[in-house]
């Protein structure tokens, strides 16, 4: 579900910046630089989302570890924690998903004809 949302955001970004892409291509930008720009943008978006999610999960695990044993005495054996490996893997997967989600919109942006892009309104 997340990959579809990121892809839609990137398609909107490409559509809104069509003239900018056309100007960049008209003054000599290569397909590779435009492709890289949109891939970095989508990856950064997912990386920031991962950081916010990890902060929220860490807070919830901390609260659970602090308050579950005091609220439910029978549950005192539970010791919630987040392994660092899991946090690292989740962040890496998020960035990879961001790159995959941004690939099709980035290819579309890189393959725009500069004349058509400059004419676009």
Confidence of residue 16 (pLDDT cuts 50, 70, 90): very high
pLDDT at 68: 72
In this structure, the number of other CB atoms found within 10 A of the CB of residue 116 comes to 10
The more confidently predicted of residues 41 and 82 is 41
What is the total count of domains within the chain? 1
DSSP 73: G
Confidence of residue 47 (pLDDT cuts 50, 70, 90): very high
Which tens digits make up the pLDDT trace of 68-119?
A: 767 666 666 667 778 889 889 999 999 999 999 999 999 999 999 989 888 8
Structural domain of residue 95, as residue ranges? 2-119
pLDDT at 2: 83
Q: What is the pTM of this model?
A: 0.82
Distance separating alpha carbons of residues 26 and 32, to the nearest angstrom = 14
pLDDT at 79: 73
Distance separating alpha carbons of residues 22 and 71, to the nearest angstrom = 61
């Amino acid at each position: 579900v997340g990959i579809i949302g990121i892809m839609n955001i990137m398609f909107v970004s490409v559509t809104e910046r069509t003239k900018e892409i056309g100007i960049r291509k008209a003054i000599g930008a290569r397909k590779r630089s435009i492709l890289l720009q949109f891939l970095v943008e989508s990856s950064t978006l997912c990386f920031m989302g991962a950081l916010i999610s990890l902060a929220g999960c860490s807070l919830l695990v901390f609260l659970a570890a602090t308050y579950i044993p005091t609220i439910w005495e029978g549950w005192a054996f539970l010791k919630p924690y987040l392994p660092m490996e899991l946090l690292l893997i989740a962040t890496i997967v998020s960035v990879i998903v961001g790159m995959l989600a941004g690939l099709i919109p980035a290819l579309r942006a890189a393959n725009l004809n500069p004349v058509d892009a400059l004419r676009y309104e």
